[in-house]
């Protein structure tokens, strides 16, 4: 019969139309912003800098201003200036820190290469997308204070990633501590070198490398 | 499919006046190519397309490459006899020569009929300034139509015999050829105070900063 | 004329350049008295992006058609000459923005060919899974937009998009982004999917044939659709081969050339699937190609999920930073959803490529747009353009 194809098509449309009132598979609209949006853990939009704690963000940035992310960023949207002095990091080792760390989110394409190449797990992907600003240039240029967010926030966004990073960094820190403790113990146990006037052959110090 | 050496030998036998050179590809992919001279290229192309053993009826990709002129230093170790009668000294003589630049069109040819390939064919221009004409292979493979137009637009190679040679990606009144290595992009576009780019520095020279203290502060960048 | 006999083509093809034949002259040429020149685009809902067709009409019939593009030219090839190899990977997402996973794979394939990088087995299977899911995404988009062009505003499109959203959600939970996935690396894939992800993907693939059946019930037998697409935009196979057309457009004309079978890249030779080939080369055949290819993709996906081996997803010797392939060149190509997508790279040993070239299937497939549209009405031109499947990001780069 001529028109049977059209009628079959109309039947499909009718089924979908009626089904959209009761069948969840056919009502797919999420009424945002009334319905809160649920993002998957891997979702990425704009980076942020991880700080160890929230009370002293600038003092506990993991970033050591090595500028690797700046070099690898394809659209070159990261701008870093190293500090002149060194501050102790979470393991107590004095490290440089970024005096200026700015990301131009108007240019950033959230490609995540900066996160992949960072050797210190200092920069991670945020999930912010409601970022309308009133100024096209200054409003979208995020500086260090705006980018720094605490590790607890990182745990909230990416629980598995944060757990893995914490585990790894914790293990590294423990290993570094153990090494430092062993070296200090060995140095303390070394006999003091004798004064040259008393003994002809001074005993060599048996200490390990200075931590 | 026969090897590239066999193809070259057959071409030289068939077209004695042609210059066909096998260029080895040093990398791991080992995709060697044949360098053809521009005069005999169209008839060689037709032969490659219609020859029953090759039947390269599918021109997959036409690329333009810019090779700017390079200064090459040749170091020659010469043994100079000592006039005083002692042992001969070994002296390094460095001569500089200028390898002329050229523009190049690379054609990747496959066969849909016999399902083999690729055979890579290259054509080089005389230099980068006034001898920039190459024969168009569009009459042989229509696939080269848009791609040769793109090479003309972005590199400046003039393809003689192309049915409709005009710019394709840039607008018609555009001057210069953007993909060349010595292309300088223009300054006069709307600049935005992003952290990077000497391009933006040059562009700043064209436009005065926006008024107001907030804008001036924004231009200075974030304070540490 | 069979597609294998090309010698008679020259007379036909040269007519395209001679005055008197269907000419490809610039259109700011003399204005013919009773012909109307219409510029369709670049802002036009049916031109699939910023694409312009300058059409010369005799009443409603097309006498001459010139495609004009370059409105989305973003200089990708020049940017790549100043960026490292890895840094160009996010930019390849944005070439054919609907199929970022397979564009990523094409680029990774070319670089791995250039540097001789090996890829572990699990990554090869994952790449095939992502590529076939991308094929489902792209073909759903295409049939949806084709029906949009036919005038059924949005109902078939949104039905197709309902399925596409599920696949995009999968991509989002795996790679972090729905369309700009940035997932492939030189030597494997960036992220290993979790068992939950694989289960969700399997469930989706199991439910896909039902969606296709419902879609076909709605549309394939529709008399209006048949009247508007059958016999419209015929593409002669010999012309198609000579013009470098690839992908479903070529196969609809009867030429069975699919790179998954011809080149056998990746682990495709291990999979059992057929390549649909059409007969008439008209718009209806091009539409049916996409539907049949979606069914074949489902088959490939089922086999891939069944055979996915355990193991690493990145080759341990692969380098992320400081990647410098040896000097040389390579052309890596694969069967993207739109046709043959190739990357031609020339390396001079430095971290940035010397020449980086994208062989865009959408651009080459537009070569014969005029030939396909001549003699048809302007409404058919929209439908023919829709069936070729172009994405301007790829045409203009």
**Strand, coil or helix: what is B93?**
strand
Query: pTM for this structure?
Result: 0.86
pLDDT reported for residue B220: 43
The per-residue pLDDT for B217 is 40
Q: Is residue B9 part of a domain?
A: yes
Say if B218 falls within a structural domain.
no
The pLDDT, as a whole number, for residue C103 is 94
C116 and C216 in a single domain? The answer is yes
Q: What is d(CA C365, CA C100) in angstroms, rounded to the nearest whole number?
A: 19
Please tell me the distance in Å from C266's CA to the nearest CA on chain B.
16
Cis, peptide link before residue C16, omega less than 30° from 0: no
Does a structural domain hold residue C1?
no
DSSP state of B63: E
H or E element that contains A163: helix A159-189
Q: Residue B130: which domain range?
A: 4-68+102-186
CB contact under 8 A, B224 and A76: no
Q: Nearest CA to CA, how far is C27 from chain B (Å)?
A: 11
Is C29 found in the same domain as C138? no
- C320 interfacial to chain A (CB closer than 8 Å): yes
Residue for token digits 């944005």? C94
First to last CA, chain C: 35
> B143–C26: do the CB atoms touch at under 8 Å?
no
Helix (H) or strand (E) holding A174: helix A159-189
Query: Are C261 and C365 members of one domain?
Result: yes
Cβ-Cβ contacts under 8 Å, C172 against chain A: 40, 42-43
| Nearest CB partner across the interface for B221, out of A76, A78, A102 | A102
Give B104's DSSP letter. E
Dist. CA C183–CA C181, nearest whole Å? 5
Mean pLDDT over B197-211 rounds to 56
Check residue C110 and give its pLDDT.
93
Is B210 part of a structural domain of the chain?
Answer: no
CA distances (Å), origin B175, targets B154, C52, C76: 10, 22, 19
Residue B212: the pLDDT is: 40
Residues C28 and C106 in one domain: no
**A113/C87 Cβ within 8 A:** yes
CB-closest option in C155, C174, C226 to A13:
C155
Helix axes C121-150, C283-307, angle to 10 degrees: 150
Using an 8 Å CB-CB cutoff, list chain C residues near A72.
84, 86-87, 321
Asked if pLDDT for residue B162 goes beyond 80, the answer is: yes
Residues of C in contact with B27 (CB under 8 A): 114-115, 325-330, 347
| Cβ of residue A113 closer than 8 Å to a chain C Cβ | yes
pLDDT at C9: 56
Name the residue among C168, C93, B194 with its Cα closest to residue A40. C168
| Residue C102 confidence (pLDDT) | 93
Q: Is residue C214 exposed (0-12), middle (13-18) or buried (19+ Cβ within 10 Å)?
A: middle
Judged by CB atoms closer than 8 Å, whether chains meet at A138 and B192 is answered as no
Model confidence at B215, in pLDDT bands (50, 70, 90)? very low
Q: Residue A186 is encoded by which pair of tokens?
A: 């060995």
From the list A131, A138, A114, the residue with the least C-alpha distance to A50 is A114
Cis geometry, peptide bond prior to residue B124 (ω within 30 degrees of 0): no
How many structural domains are present in chain C? 2
The domain locations on chain A are 47-157
One domain for residues C176 and C317: yes
On average, the pLDDT of chain B sits at 81
Structural domain contains residue C241: yes
Nearest chain B residue to A97, by CA: B224
Cross-chain residue pair C70–B60, CB shorter than 8 Å? no
Q: Is the pLDDT of residue C90 over 80?
A: yes
Residues of C in contact with A24 (CB under 8 A): none
Q: Are residues C54 and C146 in the same domain?
A: no
Q: Any chain C CB within 8 A of the CB of A40?
A: yes
Q: Has residue B196 been placed in a domain?
A: no
Claim to verify: residue C64 and residue C90 sit in the same structural domain: no
Answer whether C186 touches B (CB < 8 Å): no
pLDDT of residue A201: 45
What distance in Å separates the CA atoms of residue B11 and residue A163, rounded to the nearest whole number?
65
Q: How far is CA A34 from the centre of its chain?
A: 30
Residue A136: list chain B partners with CB under 8 A.
192
Q: Where does residue A167 rank: exposed (0-12), middle (13-18), buried (19+ CB within 10 A)? A: exposed
Q: Which of B28, B140, B163 sits opposite C16 (nearest CB)?
A: B163
pLDDT tens, position by position, C24-53: 444 445 555 578 888 887 888 777 888 999
Does pLDDT of C299 surpass 90?
yes
Report the interhelical angle of C195-219 vs C121-150 (nearest 10°). 30
Give chain C positions within 8 Å (CB) of B46. Answer: 10
Q: Please tell me if residue C227 touches chain A, with a CB cutoff of 8 Å.
A: no
Question: Is A181 or B211 the better-scoring residue by pLDDT?
Answer: A181
Q: Identify whether C356 is preceded by a cis peptide bond (ω within 30 of 0).
A: no
- Mutation to test the B interface, candidates C11, C51, C54, C70, most B Cβ within 10 Å: C70
| Residues B101-155: tens digit of each pLDDT | 889 999 999 999 888 878 999 999 888 888 889 999 999 999 999 999 999 999 9
Chain-chain contact of B139 with C327 (C-beta, under 8 angstroms) = no
B207, part of any domain:
no
Residues of C in contact with A112 (CB under 8 A): 176, 182
Give the CATH number of the domain where residue B138 resides.
3.30.460.80
Q: Which CATH number fits domain A47-157: 3.30.70.3270, 1.10.290.10, 3.20.20.80, 2.40.50.140?
A: 3.30.70.3270
The pLDDT score that the predictor gives to residue A9 is: 87
| Eight-state DSSP code of residue A206 | -
Tell me: do C196 and C121 sit in the same domain: yes
The answer on C48 and C113 residing in a single domain is: no
Tokens encoding A40: 């998957």
Confidence bin at B20 (pLDDT 50/70/90): confident
- For a pLDDT cut of 70, what percent of chain C falls above it? 91
For residue A28, the chain C residues in CB contact (below 8 A) are: 162, 165
b/e code A40-50 from CB counts within 10 Å (16+ = b): eebbbbbbbbb
CB A28 within 8 A of CB C162: yes
Picking from C394, C392, C383, C395, the residue whose alpha carbon sits closest to that of residue C143 is: C383
Task: Judge whether B155 and B68 are in contact, CB under 8 Å.
Answer: no
Residues of chain A below pLDDT 50: 195-211
Long-range contacts: B42-46, Cβ < 8 Å, 24+? B42/B135, B42/B136, B42/B137, B42/B139, B42/B140, B42/B161, B43/B15, B44/B11, B44/B15, B44/B18, B44/B20, B44/B121, B45/B107, B45/B121, B45/B137, B45/B140, B45/B141, B46/B140, B46/C10
pLDDT of residue C14: 52
| Residue at C125 is within a domain | yes
Same domain, yes or no: C208 and C350 = yes
Report whether pLDDT(B35) > 70: yes
Min Cα–Cα distance to chain A from B195, Å: 6
Contact flag A141-B218 (C-beta cutoff 8 Å): yes
Render pLDDT for B58-108 as a digit per residue (tens, 0 to 9). 999 999 999 988 887 777 777 777 777 667 777 777 888 888 888 999 999
The predicted pLDDT at position A198 comes to 47
**Residue B175: pLDDT band by 50, 70, 90 thresholds?**
confident
Residues C80, C157: one domain?
A: yes
**Sign of torsion over alpha carbons B203, B204, B209, B213:** positive
Shortest CB distance from C221 goes to which of A5, A111, A125?
A: A5
pLDDT at B31: 84
Question: Domains in chain B: how many in total?
Answer: 1
Mark yes or no for CB contact A9/C191 under 8 Å: no
> Lowest-confidence range among B79-88, B214-223, C244-253?
B214-223
Query: Residue C246 above 60 pLDDT?
Result: yes
Task: Show the CA angle centred on residue C93, arms to residues B182 and B110, nearest 5°.
Answer: 75
C397, closest residue in chain B (CA to CA):
B169
The residues, any chain, with a CB within 8 Å of residue B51's CB and separated by 6 or more, are none
Domain of C17?
6-68
Which band of pLDDT confidence, cut at 50, 70 and 90, is reported for residue C19?
A: very low
**Cβ contact B224–A79 (<8 Å):** no
Q: What pLDDT is stored for residue A181 in this prediction?
A: 86
Asked whether C305 and C272 are in contact (CB, 8 A), the reply is no
**Plot region of C287 (φ>0 → left; ψ -120 to 50 → alpha; else → beta):** alpha
């Amino acid at each position: 019969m001529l028109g049977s194809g059209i009628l079959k098509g109309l039947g499909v449309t009718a089924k979908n139309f009626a089904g959209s009132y009761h069948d969840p598979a056919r009502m797919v609209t999420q009424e945002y912003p009334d319905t809160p949006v649920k993002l998957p853990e891997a979702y990425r939009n704009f980076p942020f800098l991880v700080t160890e704690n929230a009370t002293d963000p600038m003092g506990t940035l993991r970033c050591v201003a090595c500028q690797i992310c700046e070099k690898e960023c394809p659209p070159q949207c990261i701008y870093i200036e190293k500090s002149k002095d060194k501050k102790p990091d979470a393991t107590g080792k004095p490290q440089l820190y970024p005096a200026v760390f700015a990301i131009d989110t108007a240019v950033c394409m959230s490609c995540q290469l900066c996160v992949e190449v960072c050797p210190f797990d200092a920069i991670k992907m945020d999930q912010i997308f409601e970022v309308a600003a009133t100024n096209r240039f200054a409003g979208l240029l995020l500086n260090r204070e705006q980018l720094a967010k605490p590790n607890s926030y990182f745990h909230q966004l990416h629980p598995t990633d944060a757990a893995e990073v914490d585990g790894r960094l914790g293990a590294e820190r423990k290993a570094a501590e153990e090494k430092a403790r062993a070296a200090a113990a060995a140095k303390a146990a070394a006999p003091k070198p004798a004064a040259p006037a008393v003994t002809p052959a001074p005993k060599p110090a048996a200490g390990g490398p200075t931590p | 499919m026969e090897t590239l050496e066999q193809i070259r030998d057959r071409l030289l036998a068939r077209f004695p006046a042609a210059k066909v050179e096998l260029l080895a590809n040093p990398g791991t992919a080992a995709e060697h190519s044949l360098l053809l001279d521009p005069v005999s290229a169209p008839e060689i192309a037709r032969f490659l397309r219609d020859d029953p053993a090759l039947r390269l009826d599918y021109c997959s990709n036409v690329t333009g490459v810019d090779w700017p002129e390079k200064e090459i230093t040749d170091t020659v170790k010469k043994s100079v006899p000592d006039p005083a009668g002692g042992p001969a000294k070994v002296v390094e003589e460095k001569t500089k020569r200028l390898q002329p630049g050229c523009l190049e069109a690379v054609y990747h040819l496959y066969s849909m009929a016999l399902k083999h390939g690729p055979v890579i064919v290259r054509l080089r221009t005389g230099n980068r300034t006034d001898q920039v004409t190459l024969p168009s292979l569009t009459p042989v493979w229509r696939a080269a139509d848009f791609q040769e137009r793109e090479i003309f637009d972005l590199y400046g190679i003039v393809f003689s015999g192309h049915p409709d040679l005009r710019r394709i990606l840039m607008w018609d009144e555009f001057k210069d050829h953007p993909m060349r290595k010595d292309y300088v992009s223009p300054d006069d576009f709307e600049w935005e105070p992003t952290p990077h780019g000497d391009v933006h520095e040059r562009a700043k020279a064209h436009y005065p900063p926006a008024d107001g203290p907030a804008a001036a502060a924004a231009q200075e960048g974030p304070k540490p | 004329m069979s597609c294998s006999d090309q010698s008679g083509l020259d007379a036909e093809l040269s007519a395209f350049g001679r005055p008197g034949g269907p000419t490809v002259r610039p259109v700011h040429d003399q204005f013919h008295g009773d012909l109307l020149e219409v510029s369709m685009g670049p802002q036009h809902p049916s031109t699939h992006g910023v694409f312009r067709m300058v059409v010369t009409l005799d009443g409603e019939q097309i006498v001459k058609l010139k495609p004009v593009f370059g409105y989305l030219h973003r200089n990708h090839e020049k940017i790549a000459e100043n960026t490292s190899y890895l840094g160009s990977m996010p930019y390849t997402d944005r070439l054919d923005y609907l199929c970022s996973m397979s564009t990523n794979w094409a680029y990774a394939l070319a670089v791995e060919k250039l540097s001789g990088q090996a890829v572990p087995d699990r990554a090869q299977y994952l790449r095939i899974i992502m590529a076939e899911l991308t094929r489902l995404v792209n073909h759903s988009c295409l049939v949806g937009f084709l029906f949009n062009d036919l005038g059924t505003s949005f109902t078939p499109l949104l039905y197709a998009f309902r399925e596409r959203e599920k696949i995009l959600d999968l991509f989002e939970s795996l790679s972090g982004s729905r369309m700009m996935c940035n997932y492939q690396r030189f030597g494997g894939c960036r992220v290993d999917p979790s068992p939950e992800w694989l289960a969700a993907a399997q469930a989706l693939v199991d439910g896909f044939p039902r969606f296709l059946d419902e879609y076909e019930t709605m549309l394939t037998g529709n008399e209006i659709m048949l009247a508007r697409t059958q016999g419209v935009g015929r593409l002669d196979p010999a012309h198609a081969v000579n013009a470098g057309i690839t992908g479903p457009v070529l196969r609809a004309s009867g030429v069975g050339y699919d790179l998954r079978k011809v080149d056998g890249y990746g682990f495709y030779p291990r999979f059992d699937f057929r390549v649909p080939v059409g007969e008439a080369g008209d718009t209806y055949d091009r539409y049916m190609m996409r539907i049949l290819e979606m069914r074949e993709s489902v088959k490939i996906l089922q086999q891939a999920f069944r055979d996915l081996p355990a193991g690493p997803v990145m080759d341990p010797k692969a380098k992320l930073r400081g990647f410098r392939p040896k000097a040389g060149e390579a052309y890596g190509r694969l069967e993207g959803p739109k046709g043959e997508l190739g990357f031609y790279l020339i390396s001079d040993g430095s971290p940035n490529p010397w020449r980086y070239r994208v062989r865009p299937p959408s651009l080459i497939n537009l070569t014969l747009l005029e030939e396909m549209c001549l003699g048809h009405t302007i409404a058919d031109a929209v439908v023919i353009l829709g069936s070729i499947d172009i994405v301007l990001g790829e045409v203009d780069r």
